[in-house]
Amino acid sequence: MKLSHLIVVLSLTVFSTACSNWIYRIDIPQGNFLDEHDVEKLRIGMTKEQVEFVLGRPILKDAFDKDTWYYYYEMKR
């Protein structure tokens, strides 16, 4: 009786852990990570080249306004 009870408990344990998500997925950073220290370096009147040097290349440039750049950052798993 005890052996069958042990087998049932072990079977339920194995089946329940098989349904869990144990696959490890690494975090994938996408975009430009802007550090607060880098953003504080920005000043009014800087050229586009200076801004690009401080922050890196923008992810998107607005098609209708050439003076608008988008910096986007997302962490996907």
Domains: count for the chain: 1
Per-residue pLDDT of the chain (77 residues; tens, 9 = 90+): 688 888 888 888 877 776 766 677 778 877 778 888 888 898 999 998 998 898 888 887 878 888 888 887 777 76
pTM beyond cutoff 0.95: no
Kindly state the tokens that stand for 51: 């801004």
Buried b (16+ CB within 10 A) or exposed e, 56-68: eebeeeeeeeeee
Range of the domain at 37: 2-76
